[in-house]
Structure 1
């Protein structure tokens, strides 16, 4: 699932979602079970009053985007994320990396390597091992 809009100047989930979408996804990703629109609205209400219809519209748009799935239970709908936040972030970072390399080629790779001086040395060691494995498998 590739998100269509990436906001460079935002951070976290706001890079992929609007502000309310981000809050809703955070609530659903931290919930141990499915939630109704009312459940989500009550969690959002801890910050400020948000209209039920607004929450319903945003959650149904997230269903249309295939981020959430909903199912009918009695007289209400229950929502849950299609994938975990870890799977979502993994997929998005992979898609962004492939897009950067496709668009900018060696420039993107050069800038990624330049950015490595700011990462944890343990991460650098993991990257080195991964590169060695890729070279060996070729």
Structure 2
């Protein structure tokens, strides 16, 4: 089951958020947002009754999906959208906070300002390329 969630995170969640929400605008971004929300809802449901995907402790699925805990807020800032709010995804929000607050994890995140700069540059380049077509 862990492989399924790791693949789901890479193939569905990552693709819908990065390739859709981050680097699109207008109607295309709105459509990508719907897909991203559907994918995030699957993760929300998987967390029912658990602190982490692995139960009460961080496990393989948490590590495979851990990028969400860092990147979601960065991408929200860059794209100017709210993807994971406590009202819509309370379990996923709590998981993101708990995962990010784990000493092993938080001590190894890339600096937030560098990540914002990187993803802002990616977004700007992709939007400029799309506009020139």
TM range (shorter): under 0.3
TM-score by length of 1: 0.27
Q: Which has the larger radius of gyration?
A: 1
The structure with the greater share of residues assigned to helix is 2
TM-score, length basis structure 2: 0.27
